[in-house]
Structure 1
């Protein structure tokens, strides 16, 4: 069973956006994809009645020929009468008020298709997605199957361009390569061996403006041979709906004829469909994994199931809460991508698989403690923080077995709260390291709600500071923190020790308090800690 919501999610926001998804409609089963073309038949209704167009229950109806609001409204109404799952329209029709109203009243889905998307490609992609998510296991296993398809496509493209080919994603990682190896160079060998373009080769291509050209609308890019022996390259961007999904690289022996280059470029739309299918399947697997990790962190998932499905051992793990500067997963179009990239890099750097999920704008990493001790993790996170262009803070809970990861998460959250409030120096800290700050913060939180600040002479000093522009409260706090050491207290306040002594004399004139009594000092310090740490 394949729901409309599932299909839209699997294809992703690059191509599809749900404009109207009535309650319950998102769970309606999708059966097939049909193309609605009224054309010379006048109206969609007449075409249906004449048997020239067939719409069945659960169909996704593609409004290929709709050009006006009236066309769109009629198609929505007629499709709803046939119990179709949704009508797919391109902008601006999908967002017209009359069309949205018709879809809402008819309780049928209304999906907007990216303006630059080819209808033919979309039909192929939708049917591929329907096949891929026929059951959840097939969806999870689809990335491997998709990889096999990509290798076959790389072989086909190599035959077309008559040269060895690699298919790469937007991060220059190799997704597939052709079996043909008759023309090669060290750069291609190291690219295939390392499954990505090496950094030095990447830098040379970048300096020649290759990646800048990939982001433009060019169909093909030719890169001449380089002085280091790197052979020429013919590069074809892979796009769908205006988004760059990756690229195909052919190692050639020189300039390529226009015919061969055009034939090579013609393979890009086919590869694009497979890349989208691969991404949709990978996203489904990632979502399922993230939901399971989230269940571990809130204590609702079965530890035994988690260990079986995530490949985790019974050994201790550590939860790390990472604040990358956002308040919500949707705070920035690229925020979620940044968090996923961070998860991948952390796992790669510690040499162990890290699981993760995003909750409330915070990325939670679950890492095996036996494979990466805290000092190593601290270095990795500190490097990521230094490289980040946004505010970056990370706090780790203590080592816990899988069944107790919710406690490690609570510890990480508490330590992260101290970093956010700038009560401890960051950007990275562990729960164990922050024990003094945590103690003071917990005491302050408990006493603040007990009304302790209303007791004793402290309120007199606070009022004097407000009205007389004095600094008695800060002075008393520094003096109590450094008993018997006025020089240290003065350094903390950045004043001269004589100024500190003068303030203390004036302070004692304002309130009748015996600072020689240890209980009085302890009570005042408790109040001052509550003020500063709550």
Structure 2
């Protein structure tokens, strides 16, 4: 049986749940133990060989139940992987002690996270091994969503769309004679709800239950789909012209949300598995490690580019920053996948990196720029943060991906230094500024490149309250045009000429030497 299915380890399985959904009270004796199946724990049932590798859901069992504590040694001998239960504030010390002795992991499930959702998630990742079936793929789950959309349409009496939290269309009903208007046609054809409708979604996500919308020309009702406090998506119903949805339709849509939650959990978890594998591969690829990414990343030929989305400085702990970073990564992944299915992203060091394949007919950064603008807008509207985005050049072989990443990083450096008017730029737009910033860094920090005259000028300005450093910088940036340089400092041209002569007399600066002018300019420009 294990030969037909690659089972996840308990660590991998728990990583797929949200941080607010589960926590590990005690680790298993084997940190790499595989979870082969899951079932409800029946304390009256004798543990047999079929329990090996199982995760048992202790539904309704208190952590202090003596029957549970007494059963742990036999369960450990049977080789179960873990027990999941809801502690609900009960004392857990004896349970942890007994489980540790038996070599069994104990998983605490949040009170707000329904057991039916836990069951669906485990089914989606481990598969129903009792029937020898593999875990659900995202394609299977999406296929089920189309069937669900038709079923809900029949119950509600309207046309249905099922969407994820990023307003992407996952499925829609296609029963004969369904009402349709330009809005529904637009979102189905584009597979994405346009940004102009985001205010309606913010209202829906804040509300409880079914919400009515008076969208012309056809009426709409919608409901948010949640697992506990976790938003999974939404269901929208479009009615016929001149009619309104009745209370029965609202009840049917609310009931459909519970069914849809299980399907959307399967979609999300199957997608999460794929994204995690792709993210780890991308992390290695960006670092320049030797990998063979073609098959796993799904990019067999053509150009690609790296986008770097930099988070602003955020208050709070590193955990808080990581949570925001993962939210941004989810947003980038969702938006990127609508542009190119084979895209992938990873969050590292306060930056979300995305690898975006470029179309053969247009191997330039236009698609990347469109994606970046979409993410900037949605991050500001939904996450309330302002990102900076750097885009590297298009590269063809995977071996050149690290270069595109380095260029994207250099763009971010230019944007952070205020050397560009936008929060978004491609390397070709700022290449000269990026090169100069690198040269500046070398000149400023390497003693070999530093003139003693510059240090002397700065000391003189501090002690005598003069402005020789600013005067010299203005002269160098004005290519020796006295009148133009004097105007930038709002002084008379004769005053400016006097200062330049004094700089030469006092500090031995030779402004007739082009090499010296270049190095002086590089040393001074980072100061102002």
Map residues 479-518 of structure 1 onto 2, 5 A cutoff.
Answer: 479-508=475-504, 510-511=506-507, 513=508, 515=510, 517-518=512-513
Shift of 1:287: 1.9
Match of 1:148 in 2: 143
1:175 is aligned to 2:180? no
Give the alignment's TM-score, normalised by structure 1. 0.77
Map residues 75-224 of structure 1 onto 2, 5 A cutoff.
Answer: 78=73, 79-80=75-76, 82-90=78-86, 92-93=88-89, 107-131=103-127, 142-161=137-156, 164-186=159-181, 190=185, 193-194=188-189, 199=194, 202=197, 206=200, 212-213=203-204, 215-218=206-209, 220-221=210-211
| Aligned positions, number | 506
1:354–1:326 Cα change, 3 Å: farther
Q: Choose the corresponding residue for 1:322, options 285, 309, 316.
A: 309
Map residues 44-55 of structure 1 onto 2, 5 A cutoff.
Answer: 47=44, 51=46
CA contact (8 A) 2:476 2:521 kept: no
Q: Quick one: distance in 2 between partners of 1:230 and 1:88?
A: 47
Q: What secondary structure, in the 3-state scheme, does the structure 1 residue paired with 2:452 have? A: coil
CA contact (8 A) 1:94 1:112 kept: no
Match of 1:41 in 2: none
Match of 2:408 in 1: 412
Q: Quick one: distance in 2 between partners of 1:315 and 1:94?
A: 58
Map residues 124-523 of structure 1 onto 2, 5 A cutoff.
Answer: 124-131=120-127, 142-161=137-156, 164-186=159-181, 190=185, 193-194=188-189, 199=194, 202=197, 206=200, 212-213=203-204, 215-218=206-209, 220-221=210-211, 228-231=216-219, 233-251=220-238, 261-262=250-251, 264-302=253-291, 305-325=292-312, 331=321, 333-345=323-335, 354-365=343-354, 366-368=356-358, 370=360, 371-374=362-365, 377-378=368-369, 381=372, 385=376, 389=380, 390-402=385-397, 403-452=399-448, 455-508=451-504, 510-511=506-507, 513=508, 515=510, 517-518=512-513, 522-523=515-516
Q: Quick one: distance in 2 between partners of 1:428 and 1:90?
A: 46
Unaligned runs of 5+ in 2: 1-6
Shift of 1:360: 2.3
1:72–1:265 Cα change, 3 Å: farther
Match of 1:42 in 2: none
Match of 1:43 in 2: none
1:506–1:239 Cα change, 3 Å: same
Q: What secondary structure, in the 3-state scheme, does the structure 1 residue paired with 2:263 have? A: helix
CA contact (8 A) 1:444 1:531 kept: no
Q: What does the per-residue CA deviation read over 1:386-413, in whole Å, with 9 as the maximum and x for residues that have no partner? A: 6753333233333322232222222222
Shift of 1:234: 4.9
Give the alignment's TM-score, normalised by structure 2. 0.78
1:133–1:214 Cα change, 3 Å: farther
Shift of 1:113: 1.7
CA contact (8 A) 1:55 1:84 kept: no
Quick check: 431-440 or 92-101, which moved more? 92-101
Q: What secondary structure, in the 3-state scheme, does the structure 2 residue paired with 1:457 have? A: helix
> What's the Cα RMSD here?
4.3
CA contact (8 A) 2:473 2:525 kept: no
CA contact (8 A) 2:303 2:396 kept: yes
Q: Quick one: distance in 1 between partners of 2:301 and 2:463?
A: 61
CA contact (8 A) 1:453 1:459 kept: no
1:354–1:330 Cα change, 3 Å: farther
Q: Quick one: distance in 2 between partners of 1:71 and 1:494?
A: 86
Q: Quick one: distance in 2 between partners of 1:178 and 1:411?
A: 45
Q: What secondary structure, in the 3-state scheme, does the structure 1 residue paired with 2:141 have? A: helix
Shift of 1:2: 2.6
Q: What secondary structure, in the 3-state scheme, does the structure 2 residue paired with 1:321 have? A: strand
Shift of 1:278: 1.0
Shift of 1:88: 1.8
Q: What does the per-residue CA deviation read over 1:106-146, in whole Å, with 9 as the maximum and x for residues that have no partner? A: 65433232322222442344234321899xx966x811111
CA contact (8 A) 2:36 2:129 kept: no
Quick check: 251-260 or 448-457, which moved more? 251-260
CA contact (8 A) 2:62 2:90 kept: no
Shift of 1:257: 6.5
Match of 1:7 in 2: 13
Q: What secondary structure, in the 3-state scheme, does the structure 2 residue paired with 1:470 have? A: coil
Q: What does the per-residue CA deviation read over 1:487-527, in whole Å, with 9 as the maximum and x for residues that have no partner? A: 2322444444344334335545543x153652xx6336415
Q: Quick one: distance in 1 between partners of 2:366 and 2:257?
A: 46
